[in-house]
Amino acid sequence: MFELVAAQVAGAWWYVAAGYTVVLGGMAVFGVALALRIRRARRRLQNMP
């Protein structure tokens, strides 16, 4: 049903770069977001009476 398009795909490194950027970047973004959420929660707890 599906044919292998090419053994040595043209522009292969673009795909590889895109994939790695998405995955590593995604993890990094999530980590940074977590850190920011933690900071905000800590600040809220401090400001509460």
Q: Torsions phi, psi of 26, nearest 5?
A: -60, -45
Contact flag: residue 46 with other proteins (CB under 8 A): no
Contact flag: residue 4 with other proteins (CB under 8 A): yes
Q: Within 13 A of 9's CA, how many CA atoms are on the CB side?
A: 8
Contact flag: residue 47 with other proteins (CB under 8 A): no
| 14 Ramachandran zone, left/alpha/beta (phi>0; psi -120 to 50) | alpha
Q: Encoding tokens for residue 45?
A: 């707890």
Give the shortest CB-11-to-other proteins separation in angstroms. 8
The residues of the shown chain that bind other proteins, judged by CB under 8 A, are: 1-9, 11-13, 15-16, 18-20, 22-24, 26-27, 30-31, 34-35, 37-38, 41-42, 44-45, 48-49
